[in-house]
Amino acid sequence: MHRHSGEFERRTDDIPRDAVTYILNLGRALHACGYAAHRLEQVLGLAAERLGLEAQFFSTPTSIFLSFGPVDRQRVYLLRVEPSEQDLGKLSALDRVTVKVARGEMTPTEGSRQIAVLSAAPSRYGQRATTLAFGLASGAATRFLGGGLREIVAGTILGLIIGVLAALARRYAGIARVFEPLAAFIAAFLATGAGVLIGPLSVFIATLAGIIVLVPGLTLTVAMTELSTQHLLAGTARMSAAFMTFLGITFGVALGNSVGVKFFGQPPLVDPASVPAWGNVLALAVAPLAFTVLLKASPREYPWFVLVGAIAFYASRLGSIAFGPELGSFVGALAVGIVSNVLAKVMDRPSQLFLVPGILLLVPGSIGIRSLSALMEREVVSGIETAFRMIVIAVSLVAGLLMSNALTPRRRLV
């Protein structure tokens, strides 16, 4: 037994330790930036190939398995990780390190040091900026959801309140465990009070806009993409997480509405007042500003976020006019995907840097909340119809993204 163990050690000694350590650190860091399973495995595979390593990778939202060496004498590693928020600033910096190591401009040891520095760096934006970004994102979302001026004001204030609650959730584990349903409860309760005490407004639009940052529409889209690329375990796990978040938010909204009606009375049902066409233009300028902070991107990325956001919005609108709202999402995702791949190729930067802000304007999270709310109110037919519409839109988004990758040349590394 000792002889076989020693033989195995001798046969695996030829695997460069510094290169393996670098790949392990890179995998953990990219996962912490919000990389999906299919992209993470692809990037790690290319990085290992450039370093001359024979390797295999398996990624899920909570773990990464990495093996190095031939199949009969592999050295296997397990990294325990947690689902993370998108951090486009660190992703861009990690991309530069990855490219330098792949091109031989930096050794794997130096790359590991740089990754450690980047991973330990504090968030680019402070709590005040993040809280303000919550409010701006909610205000812009109100316009996209069809809200008028009253709803925009209410949604922005609710977004700021949820931003403060998010700051508390980062400090206190007890709040973090119930953050989504608690935030939804507070938003629905206050929106109901505003609808009764301040003036007629659409309580549902104001509520949904206030919690829009928490709605897992992007998580749902990523899960569908992972399932479409045959990463079944990662896609199923991420889909389950999105579904549980939807349930928590829907429960919070329903409870907040019920308690709000008991406290303030029943708010009147009103249609939002119309907003001039320039309201959409203003929202398309404000939303990317909020995304810059919430996605922790560099301020210099803001013009690109405005560009891809405008392309996503108007391409999906034109597609909806021509083919209907479901296929309109396909057209929007196709346009954003093509533009993102071209920009990534020309500028030698990760395509996710341009893709995520555009897709955020297309994800069907709000439709999922509408579906579950209808089901909780025992409107079964309406709820199922809305849920099916959400699934069709998610599939359309994924199809558009996959089609864009097939039609445009993609950047080789990251």
Q: What pLDDT shows up at residue 291?
A: 94
- Coil, strand or helix at 1: coil
Choose among 357, 309, 352, 343: nearest CA to 38: 352
Instruction: Round to whole Å and give the CA distance between 383 and 367.
Output: 10
Q: What pLDDT shows up at residue 299?
A: 93
Q: How far is CA 315 from CA 7, 62, 179, 227, 362, in A?
A: 61, 35, 34, 25, 10
Q: Which two tokens stand for residue 303?
A: 């013009």
pLDDT for 205-246, tens place per residue?
A: 899 889 989 888 888 888 888 988 889 899 999 989 988 988
Asked if residue 6 has pLDDT above 80, the reply is: no
Range with lowest mean pLDDT among 150-164, 184-198, 237-251, 359-373? 359-373
Asked if residue 2 has pLDDT above 90, the reply is: no
pLDDT band for position 84 (cuts 50, 70, 90): confident
For 3-53, the DSSP string reads: HHHHHHHHHHTTS-HHHHHHHHHHHHHHHHTT--HHHHHHHHHHHHHHTT-
Q: What pLDDT shows up at residue 375?
A: 61
φ, ψ for residue 273, nearest 5 deg: -70, 150
pLDDT band for position 372 (cuts 50, 70, 90): low
φ, ψ for residue 330, nearest 5 deg: -60, -45
Q: What pLDDT shows up at residue 366?
A: 64
Q: Which two tokens stand for residue 56?
A: 């295999």
Instruction: Round to whole Å and give the CA distance between 219 and 225.
Output: 10
Q: What pLDDT shows up at residue 166?
A: 93
pLDDT for 11-66, tens place per residue?
A: 555 678 899 999 999 999 999 998 889 889 999 999 999 998 999 999 999 999 99
Q: Provide, rounded to the nearest whole percent, the portion of the chain with pLDDT above 70.
A: 91
Q: What pLDDT shows up at residue 1?
A: 43
Q: What number is the average pLDDT over the span 309-322?
A: 90
pLDDT for 98-144, tens place per residue?
A: 999 988 899 999 999 999 999 998 888 989 999 999 999 999 989 88
pLDDT for 268-315, tens place per residue?
A: 888 777 777 778 899 999 999 999 999 999 999 999 999 999 999 999
Range with lowest mean pLDDT among 93-102, 301-310, 323-332, 358-367? 358-367
Amino acid letter for position 284: L
Most confident of 62-66, 143-147, 368-372: 62-66
Q: What pLDDT shows up at residue 98?
A: 92
pTM: 0.88
